[in-house]
Structure formats: structure tokens, C-alpha cells
Structure 1
Amino acid sequence: MIDTRPLFEIRIQVPEIQDLGQTPLGRRRIAVVSGGSFEGERLRGEVIGAPAGDWLLQLADGTTLLDVRLTLRTDDGASIYMSYRGLRHGPADVMARLAAGEAVDPKRYYFRIAPTFETASEKYGWLNRILAIGVGRREPSGPVYSVHEVL
């Protein structure tokens, strides 16, 4: 059994996805992150747009690999670099509905991330020494994750 503790919910705004097409590794897309917010018991603030993004790779079996890099700014002014890898997959009809921007019950697809953090802030330095996991859902404006610290 893995014990976790809620860290925050993060909402990421993704107004544009650039499609680079089929590459030797899969279908490469780059999601531009324009901003967002995060809020939890121990920290809250905003997601800073540019530079920020998600380098998506869709595999032949329909699985999407996520490679995301973000800067978070807490409500008290600290900067935190957040990066994560993740996976999203599900039945073809469900994934097609997600791609079309429809609201889909997140229980119908798998959407998980493994974030890490980096900060110079003394107050939030504990983030440098934790592992986290997250469960996501896709909304029309972008992904929303419930992120938990692994204890």
C-alpha cells in the first residue's frame, strides 16, 4: 500500500496544440501552456505561461506520452519548476471524444502523471525532496490534475 497526502489541484490552460505530424517515434504534438492555477493546503498560486509546454507523443497503440515543463509562482512569490511525465490512454471512441473537446467521465480513460519539483525557496524546499503522483482529467481548456505527495 502506498500512502499519499494531497498536495494540490492544478488547472493548466492549453489554448493551442501544434501538430508536427507523424515522426519516426509517433505523432508529435506540442501543447502551448498559457497559464493556469494550483491550490492546496500547503501551497497555491499560478502557472506561468511561456516558457511552458507539453511535448506529446502519440504511439501506434493510441497511448499518449506526456513530457511537461512548467513554472509555478506561489501566492507569496516563490518560483517552483514542475516537470512531469505521464500517460493517457483509453478506448478509441473515448479518446476521440476527448480530442473533439467533449466532456468525458475521467473513469473512462487512464490519465496519470509523476511530477517532480525544483525550487530555491527555503519555505518550499521540501518540494525538492519528494515524489508525487497525479490523476488527471481533460477539460476543454486543458488538463486538471489532483496531485499527491507520496509519503
Structure 2
Amino acid sequence: MELEPLFEITAQIAPPILIPDTPDGTRVIVHVTGGKFEGPRLKGSVLASGADWFLVRSDGKAGIIDVRLVLRTDDGENIYMTYTGRAKIGPSGPHGLATTPVFATSTKGKYAWLNDVQAFATGEPGPGGVTYKVYIPK
């Protein structure tokens, strides 16, 4: 499959809330506090509107990503973005993030085409946030 860049997104995050030793593993709830995104067809801000309901599996080998957030384009459109995926777990924590974002926005707006997109993303955590490169099929 040939992919083209949709945007790069950097989300700032709050300190995590930990719920250790659940039957499924350790739940790590990470609230999104802001950020930005920019690509060839759209750019804007990540609103302080969502969180990652991350789960470090009980075997400790991988983490399950479960994010919901809102993007606001520079021209004022709101886009609901959700994604799930996996993260490798190493000695210093999660890395090697792989996700599958989908979008929901007004069917009458400029970005209605996003409602039909299945995106793919890779990312890495950084100090106080996470950055993803998001791609769509050509």
C-alpha cells in the first residue's frame, strides 16, 4: 500500500494517573493538554479535550493505546480523532507506537473527506508529550 503524509501531530500531556495491578495489567490514563498538527492539507491545534486510556498488558511486553481527542483547524473546524494501537514496552517505558487513526467531522464542512479516511501512524513519546506522523492511502 502506498501512503502519503496527512500531518505530523504533537500532543502535550499531563502527568499520568496510574491504576496498577488490574486483572488486565496497569492502566495509565494520560490527559491531553494541548498541542499542534500540520500537514499538506490541514493544520491547527490539539485541544485540551481528551486522553489516552493506555494499558500496559499484564505480560509487560506491549501497551494498548486508546486515544480520543479533538483537533481544531486553523480555519475553525473541529475534528474528532480516535486511534487505537500498540506500543512496545522497554526499560524506559513505551516506545515504537503504531496506531490507526479515524476521524469524524461535519459532513458539510471543508474536511468532510476525513470521515472516509483510515489513517496509519507511527510515533514516539518525548518529554511532556508524544509525536506521531500520520499517513493516509494514496
TM-score interval, smaller chain: over 0.9
Counterpart position of 1:65: 64
Q: Is the 8 A contact 1:98 1:138 kept in 2?
A: no
Q: TM-score, length-normalised on structure 2?
A: 0.93
Q: Does 1:136 align with 2:135?
A: no
CA distance in 2, matches of 1:140, 1:98: 12
Query: Residue by residue, what CA displacement relative to the aligned partner does 1:47-66 show, whole Å, maximum 9, x if unpaired?
Result: 0003x000010011420000
Alignment of 1:1-150 (within 5 A): 2-50=1-49, 52-59=50-57, 60-90=59-89, 95-98=90-93, 109-120=95-106, 121-150=108-137
5+ long unaligned stretches in structure 2: none
CA distance in 1, matches of 2:93, 2:24: 22
CA distance in 2, matches of 1:72, 1:23: 31
Bigger fraction of residues in helix: 1
Give secondary structure in 2 for the equivalent of 1:49: coil
5+ long unaligned stretches in structure 1: 100-108
CA distance in 2, matches of 1:32, 1:139: 15
Q: CA deviation at 1:98?
A: 4.2
Q: TM-score, length-normalised on structure 1?
A: 0.85
Runs of 4+ displaced beyond 4 Å: none
CA distance in 2, matches of 1:20, 1:98: 16
Q: Is the 8 A contact 2:77 2:109 kept in 1?
A: no
Bigger fraction of residues in strand: 2
Q: CA RMSD in A?
A: 1.3
